[in-house]
Amino acid sequence: MRWVLGAAGVLLVLYGGWLLVSREDDLLGVAVWLAAGVLLHDAVLAGVTIVLGALAVRLAPEPARAPLVVGLVVLGTATLLAVPVLGRFGARADNPTLLDRDYTAGWLVLAALTAVAVVGAALVRSRRR
């Protein structure tokens, strides 16, 4: 099974490389997106996660520290992925079916469920001590 999955992965990488090389006019755009992705991850997302994790370790009670850090990572990643729909980027007046939902309400539900999971995990950890 490993060989099959490995071969499928190699084939997909080769196909992606062929698509990249066959569109010479997009190479600069691809390079910009790759550089911007690394920069945004390393400078923004990782930095904010480290700062919030350090604050959680210092301010939160010991049983709540690990669940709080996990919750921050989950919510931070989901928020980063949700930025395009929360900002309604790509919405067009001539096509009202694009971005036709209340994505803010969905994100708030996710944030509330994450908070409930963090509190629940912190309570379980505190009871075990």
Q: pLDDT tens digits for 29-76?
A: 888 888 998 888 888 878 887 888 788 878 889 899 889 889 988 988
Q: pLDDT tens digits for 69-98?
A: 899 889 888 988 888 888 888 788 888 888
Conformation bin of residue 91: beta by default, left when phi > 0, alpha when psi is -120 to 50: beta
Pick from 111, 84, 110, 113: nearest CA to 99:
84
What's the residue count for the chain?
129
- Residue ranges of alpha helices (H) inside the chain are 2-22, 27-39, 46-59, 62-86, 103-128
- Per-position b or e across 7-34, b if 16+ CB within 10 A of its CB: eeeeeeeeeeeeeeeeeeeeeeeeeeee
- Tokens at residue 104, please? 């803010």
Determine contact, residues 20/27, Cβ cutoff 8 Å: yes
pTM of the predicted structure, to 2 decimals: 0.66
